Amino acid sequence: MPKTESNALSFVQRNPDYDGRGVTIGVLDTGIDPGAIGLGQTSTQKHKLIDIIDCTGSGDVDMSTIANATLITDPDTNDTHWEVKGLSGKTLKLSGSLNITDFSSSSEDDKNITFNVRLGIKSAYELYPRQLTSRVKRYRQQVFDEKQREHAKLIRDQMHEWNSKYSASSATQAQVQEKKDLQAKLEILESSSSASDEHHPSNDPGPVYDCIIFYDGNDYRAFVDTTEDGDLRELQSMTDYDKEFQYGTFSSVDMLNYAIHIYDDSKVLSIVCDAGAHGSHVAGIASACHHPTSVRKEGDDEEDSDINGVAPGANVISFKIGDTRLGSMETGTALTRALIMAIAKKCDVINLSYGEPYVLTNSGRFHELADEFVQRYGIVFVSSAGNNGPALSTVGAPGGSCESILSVGAYVSPSMMEAGYSLITKSKNAILLNDDTANDEEFKHHPSNVDSVSVDEDGNFNVEVEDNVKDQPGSKNEDLLTGSTYTWSSVGPSTDGSFGVNICAPGGAITCVPNWTLQRKRLMNGTSMSSPHVAGCVALLLSACKAMNIKYHPNRIRKAIENSADTKDGLSTLQQGCGMINVVKAWEHLVTHQNDPMQDVNFRVSIDNLVSNNNVARGIYLRQPHETSAKQVFSVHVDPQFTKEDDVDKETQIRRVEFEVNLALSSSTGTNGSSWIETPDLLVLLNNGRSFKIEVDPTNLPPGVHTAQVLGHNVANPSSGPLFRVPITIVKTLPEENNVDLGRLNFTPAEVKRNFLSVPQGATWMDVTVRDTRTEQDKDASSRLTVLHTVQLLPHAAYKSNEHQRYLNLLPGQATVTSIPVHGGTSCELALARYWSASGSTTLDVDVDFRGVTPVGQYRPLLLAGKGGVPIRIESMLQDEGVSPDAKLTHWRSPLSPTKEGVVNPLGERDVWPTRNKQIYEMILTYEFDPSESSKDVSGTGFRPHVPSLNGYIYESTFESQMMLIYDSNKKLLGVSDAHPEEIKAPKKGKVTVKLQVRHSDPTILSKLKDQVIWIERKMSKEISLSVYASHEAMMKGSPKFRKRTLKKGTSLLTYVAEPDLSSLPKGCKAGDLLTGVVNYSSGGGNLPGTGKRPGGYSIRYVVGPSAPSSDDGGKGKEPEPPKDERSEEEKLEEAMLQFKVEKLTKLSSNVKKEDDDVEEKKKYRSLYDSIVESNPSHIPLLMVGMRHEDDEKWRTKRLQKVIESCNLILSKIDQDELVRHYGVTGYYDKEDGDACQERKKMDERKDALIEALARKARATADLENEEKDKDDHKEENDDDDKEETAESATETFDDLLAELKKWIDIDSNLKYSVLTLERERRKGRLGSVLNLLKKLIENDGEDTKGGICPISKPDLLKQRASVFEELGYDHLVEYDKLRSLLSSPKEFALF
């Protein structure tokens, strides 16, 4: 654990009681493992991890189901236990000693006592981190495969026996079927699943846990059935972690520890476990305490053996903001909840080692909340700067974008390189020096003077120091590694001119990780590691302040840290900010200036006449040539802020009235001196702020980046350091040229060379050639790792949108060409950096060649249906270019409107901002679409949901958060999407439901989204090539197409991209859909350096118009005119009325929900049906309604005889001989004869009725036969009614009816009648065939059975397959299918 760099180790050794004790650090991260080494106790042996909170909702369990738990007494032992049936179907048994008190109602009778409990269920794979899920699946697969092999061997033995008895030519049909059945079983046992086949029998659904909440009279308590057997009698019930510090482990396989919280009056159980190892590692850096007694005083032996975190005495609270559903991505919901809970839990400092590229600085909902969090509630907020360097302005949000947050860069010292990365950093030839600094203890242990470092088994850095060493003459120490920021550490300034990086700290450590990783510690690096180091340092300072009764505010702490930091040589302020944090000096600053009230004031700086992306700038950042070509005057406004503006208590108001400070203004010594900045000498600052002007004259600065600061010191206390800083960054570009030769660039280790290019107008890409200048004869033939990084900053765009990064590992003499898209007229940084860990010097030849074929005014061409195409003028301004336009459409977007207008609702107890108890609201919008309608034209089954007005924004979003949950037709959660949509796998059939949640504290803002349209994007299976022509005439005629030609420098030409042919569009396309793709204009070619064209091309879009009327009738021709209806108007009216009555009956039948309920609805149906049948006894459609009503799944098992009677009634009305005569042998009829067509239609209706009646009768008969068989098996006596019923139904057997049905339809090929095929195959003992058919039905989610006599849902199909597996003795497959059935059809939609 590197702590010498920041003097944290020295501080704790000198002040062992100021080791963070009394301070609480909030860690906003992936979550923390409560069982991780070093996170159990503080240095004073108190609980370190005092709460673990899941702010994401990914561990939430819906506990809205209430059930009765019954106290059961064993008559033999008199022991008692509670029983309740869990949502998994298992009987849950709880210890009888539990004090279960009702939270709603209870009942008691002579036999049992019952109390209410809440039930839920959760899949382990919804809780596991992705890395853990993969490991557990591998283990479970091994166990599963072993069982599969055991059963497969038995089947192969049976097949061997069959082969020894029969031959293919002599086997009977039954024997052949027997072999096919064995093969079907073998296929189940030996086939492997793929990730896309979620319902394959071998696809692991993972553990599934029943959850139960009860009330014990004082607290809600919960069980999570991690045993999966329902017996909870030996388990300890759990309650909110912060009450009893309980945590459990799911299993010895996963080793994942978890805790719980209960919310919303027990309606939500939050199972809290981490989403990755990141959070525990971050907590370990900030505050791990491995040995509470190991904190030694200065001068003690083995002082460097301390492996603790920076502040081992501090308490830690875990705020999980990495959503497991999103692979640990943060969400706005989680971030806001974390701030709310950090305030409620009285955190002193929080750390956020997360971040995203931003569009806007210091703007948006989260930035507002973060500013209030720091300034009003006095909590220090530390965050990582980002890992996206080495180019400028690559800091992320919120660290680099929010004014109130301390942004931290990552530094690596030589001692860290040696100990953590096993790198060589020091020459072996060294001599001792005589220098008075040898007596300076701080100098002795400075990283640059460390001779050797090792790591013991606990990850402890053991440092041996040899005083005063320097390299002997002739050594090549200049090639060895030196301290630096990591190459990838993000670099300032922010796009609005602010620092971006405020401070730096060690960015790597070996410390604790979760137990599920199966290791105690791990080396990780990143600004994610440097940020908690600073948070730990802050905890040390706050611990000391509290112990010494020194009042503090985050503004005071920040000034102390920034004004005492150690500036590192060779690094710019853009890389290191104010420098390396120095805890000892920061503490001296706090003590020395503890009575200076100015230290608590936040001096907010803004540049009045400089705007960045529509926001007032926080610094001066001139990057474009037109900005640096002349001297400019800027108005700097400084506004002192005490707390939030709406604080109007008397003390604060008096402070405002009396506030006055005399400030000495000066310009810091920046790069190239500071003569290019002129500033006034003095500013008298009063409340409400004042402005002053500074002159910046960059005209004489050489190409490169130049930085400086305008500092404001308190005249009354200048030694306290500046009260505010105005950062100034000037970028001077190289002269504009089409070809830029950067020459030979010599690199020392970790060196970054920045070249700022003036991109010519007309350039659309550049070819960057980099060549290693070493020759093959060079003695050092090792590869040289160099990072090439380019960035252009465009208005209202994150740097990520216009950056390119490539790692170059070059051998001697090797050259590489990289083609990079650029925007003409905007400066571009080209940064080349020796990777921080790469030793040895490097010399590179670098050349840049700007190229370009530019679409004039048509950067994103839009084709409208019906216009024929779109003209695009292209020009070449730099050189002759070969052009051969090529356009294609690759993706399909469809708009969706909400199924109904959204409604704003208040959220629960976790979602109330503490300032005036401001309630947070949600708007939920629901959308539906059917992906199967476009499945043939879509590549795979994936789709991406877009909300264009919301996507791309997290920290700077107007709204608190956005999230989409996507479900299938059975309410199973398919995926989750947020600000950066990922592809979601769609089911093959059935509707998909998308629920969009948007949150904000102002319901009026949310209400503006009540009709929000979203877009569904799919990749088309076949790209649509768009034809390109040289003229409008050629486009309209369709020839000739555009031919490759040379576009001379300074000239342009017009091309026409034609709209696609309607026949090439996806079949499900509708008017208003959008097809998107790419158009390239340059011809490219194998002989050209680089790609020869702009990488990625340009976006092109096509708006789909109305579909053309179809002329395809399938070859049937026009239907003949029906014969004239000779009936009277009265007869027609009677038929229409009868048809209406049948429709009404059908609706009334569906309104009857249960057999014993809905008495009124049942009476209405029966009364109407009987009266209509009485007057129309032979009307088959009417009788079909009656038959279907009796055969309804809700009650058919109690009415099987009535079902048969209804079927018989219909069969008696149909003359089968007449049907046979009509259809004959071939089924021919004269399609041009109207009478013949009408007769065929009538006969088809009768035939359909016949088939349905026979099928329903066969099914009912089979069920009665099965009931009778069960009674015989159990030797139960039938009552008279049963005997009579059996006697009546025994006249025709299931096999008889099936044989009759086969005369009219092939049930094997018609899956609507699968229920009968399954019954037949099962009766014949052909369970392999049953499994084959079930597999086919499950693959389409049971959709193939819809419209038949018995639609079978996917859960029911899985249950049927489980019963077959059970019959075969495949217990492992039974368990998997039962779990799949459970998970595939939840009762309710998953919670947000």
| pLDDT at 838 (0 to 100) | 87
Show contacts of 680-689: CB within 8 Å, 24+ apart.
682/715, 683/638, 683/712, 684/660, 685/638, 685/640, 685/659, 685/660, 685/661, 685/712, 686/659, 686/660, 687/640, 687/656, 687/657, 687/659, 688/639, 689/604, 689/637, 689/638, 689/639, 689/640
709 contacts 667 by C-beta, under 8 angstroms = yes
Nearest to 757 by CA among 641, 874, 625, 918: 625
Is the pLDDT at 1258 greater than 70? The verdict is yes
Is the pLDDT at 105 greater than 80? The verdict is no
| pLDDT at 1109 (0 to 100) | 65
| pLDDT at 314 (0 to 100) | 98
Between strands 380-384 and 406-412, the pairing is parallel
pTM: 0.89
Whether the bond into 1355 is cis, omega within 30 of 0: no
Q: Partners of 1028 in the beta sheet?
A: 1057
| pLDDT at 857 (0 to 100) | 82
Is the pLDDT at 353 greater than 50? The verdict is yes
| Residue in the structure block whose two tokens are 């819906």 | 62
Confidence at 657, pLDDT banded by 50, 70, 90: very high
pLDDT digits (tens, 9 = 90+) for 919-960: 999 999 999 999 887 767 776 678 999 999 999 999 999 999
Residue 1247 identity (one-letter amino acid): K
Is the pLDDT at 870 greater than 80? The verdict is yes
Structure tokens at 305: 């053996």
1100 contacts 1057 by C-beta, under 8 angstroms = yes
Is the pLDDT at 1310 greater than 60? The verdict is yes
Is the pLDDT at 453 greater than 60? The verdict is no
Confidence at 1156, pLDDT banded by 50, 70, 90: low
Q: Which runs of consecutive H residues, i.e. helices, occur in 166-244?
A: 173-190, 241-244
Nearest to 309 by CA among 291, 327, 297: 291
- Cite the beta strand spans of 124-180 per DSSP E: none
pLDDT digits (tens, 9 = 90+) for 416-443: 999 888 887 764 433 322 333 223 333 2
| pLDDT at 1272 (0 to 100) | 74
In whole angstroms, give the CA distance from residue 376 to residue 789: 40
Between strands 49-54 and 315-320, the pairing is parallel
| pLDDT at 479 (0 to 100) | 58
Average pLDDT over residues 6-35: 96
| pLDDT at 1086 (0 to 100) | 63
In whole angstroms, give the CA distance from residue 1022 to residue 891: 10
| pLDDT at 168 (0 to 100) | 81
More confident residue, 800 or 1085: 800
* Residues whose CB is less than 8 angstroms from the CB of residue 89 and which lie 6 or more positions away in sequence, other chains included: 1378, 1382
791 contacts 828 by C-beta, under 8 angstroms = yes
Which of 261, 278, 1179, 1372 is labelled catalytic?
Answer: 278
Taking residue 486's Cβ as centre, other Cβ atoms within 10 Å add up to 26
* Residues whose CB is less than 8 angstroms from the CB of residue 459 and which lie 6 or more positions away in sequence, other chains included: 1, 307, 510, 511, 520, 521
Q: How is 91-124 classified by DSSP, letter by letter? A: EEEEETTS--B-SS-EEE-SS-EEEEEEEEEEEG
Half-sphere CA count of 1163, side-chain side, radius 13 A: 4
pLDDT digits (tens, 9 = 90+) for 906-916: 999 999 999 99
pLDDT digits (tens, 9 = 90+) for 303-332: 334 789 999 999 999 999 999 999 999 999
- The pair phi, psi for residue 1258, each rounded to 5°, is -65, -40
Q: Partners of 962 in the beta sheet?
A: 998
pLDDT digits (tens, 9 = 90+) for 691-716: 999 999 999 999 999 999 999 999 99
484 contacts 571 by C-beta, under 8 angstroms = yes
pLDDT digits (tens, 9 = 90+) for 73-84: 888 888 899 999
Q: Which runs of consecutive H residues, i.e. helices, occur in 924-1049?
A: 1003-1007, 1032-1037
Q: What is the dihedral of CA 1135, 1138, 1140, 1145, to 10 degrees?
A: -160
Confidence at 446, pLDDT banded by 50, 70, 90: very low
Confidence at 841, pLDDT banded by 50, 70, 90: confident
More confident residue, 1110 or 243: 243
Average pLDDT over residues 1169-1193: 90
Nearest to 382 by CA among 91, 122, 581, 155: 581
Q: Which runs of consecutive H residues, i.e. helices, occur in 453-496?
A: none
Q: How many residues does the chain have?
A: 1392
pLDDT digits (tens, 9 = 90+) for 182-204: 999 999 999 877 656 777 888 99
Tell me the average pLDDT of the chain. Answer: 88
Three-class secondary structure of residue 769 per DSSP: strand
Nearest to 1328 by CA among 427, 278, 12, 185: 185
| pLDDT at 1157 (0 to 100) | 53
More confident residue, 1231 or 1302: 1302
- Residue 278 falls in the annotated catalytic set: yes
Confidence at 1166, pLDDT banded by 50, 70, 90: confident
Angle at 865 (CA atoms; ends 861, 868), nearest 5 degrees: 80
DSSP assignment letter at 582: -
Q: How is 697-740 classified by DSSP, letter by letter? A: --TTPPSEEEEEEEEEEETT-GGG-EEEEEEEEEEEPPPP-SEE
860 contacts 1024 by C-beta, under 8 angstroms = no
Is the pLDDT at 412 greater than 50? The verdict is yes
Structure tokens at 599: 């230290």
Confidence at 868, pLDDT banded by 50, 70, 90: very high
Residue 1 identity (one-letter amino acid): M
1182 contacts 1142 by C-beta, under 8 angstroms = yes
Is the pLDDT at 470 greater than 60? The verdict is no
DSSP assignment letter at 1120: P
Element (H, E) at 522: strand 521-525
Is the pLDDT at 1226 greater than 60? The verdict is yes
Longest dimension (CA), the chain: 126
Is the pLDDT at 274 greater than 70? The verdict is yes
Structure tokens at 627: 């900005």
Nearest to 228 by CA among 84, 91, 327, 39: 91
For the purposes of burial, counting CB atoms within 10 Å of the CB of 67, is it exposed (0-12), middle (13-18) or buried (19 or more)? middle
Element (H, E) at 989: none
Nearest to 520 by CA among 249, 306, 292, 284: 284
912 contacts 336 by C-beta, under 8 angstroms = no
pLDDT digits (tens, 9 = 90+) for 143-177: 999 999 999 999 999 999 999 999 888 889 889 98
Taking residue 518's Cβ as centre, other Cβ atoms within 10 Å add up to 10
- The pair phi, psi for residue 325, each rounded to 5°, is -65, -25
| pLDDT at 461 (0 to 100) | 36
Average pLDDT over residues 1258-1263: 93
pLDDT digits (tens, 9 = 90+) for 1203-1225: 999 999 999 999 998 888 888 87
| pLDDT at 286 (0 to 100) | 98
Rounded to a whole number of angstroms, the CA Rg of the chain reads 38
Percent of the chain whose pLDDT exceeds 90: 71
Q: Is 630 left (phi over 0), alpha (psi -120 to 50) or beta?
A: beta
In whole angstroms, give the CA distance from residue 1380 to residue 202: 11
Is the pLDDT at 545 greater than 70? The verdict is yes
- Which range scores top for mean pLDDT: 1160-1164, 1195-1199, 1275-1279? 1195-1199
| pLDDT at 875 (0 to 100) | 95
Which of 280, 404, 528, 977 is labelled catalytic?
Answer: 528
| pLDDT at 450 (0 to 100) | 31
Q: Which runs of consecutive H residues, i.e. helices, occur in 911-1016?
A: 1003-1007
- Residue 596 falls in the annotated catalytic set: no
286 contacts 29 by C-beta, under 8 angstroms = no
| Residue in the structure block whose two tokens are 């024929």 | 868
Confidence at 465, pLDDT banded by 50, 70, 90: very low
1024 contacts 1061 by C-beta, under 8 angstroms = no
| pLDDT at 111 (0 to 100) | 55
- Four-residue CA torsion sign, 250, 256, 261, 263: negative
Is the pLDDT at 475 greater than 60? The verdict is no
Nearest to 782 by CA among 833, 832, 841: 841
| pLDDT at 672 (0 to 100) | 53
| pLDDT at 885 (0 to 100) | 94
662 contacts 715 by C-beta, under 8 angstroms = yes
In whole angstroms, give the CA distance from residue 1268 to residue 1270: 5
Which of 19, 29, 181, 240 is labelled catalytic?
Answer: 29
- Residue 29 falls in the annotated catalytic set: yes
Is the pLDDT at 674 greater than 90? The verdict is no
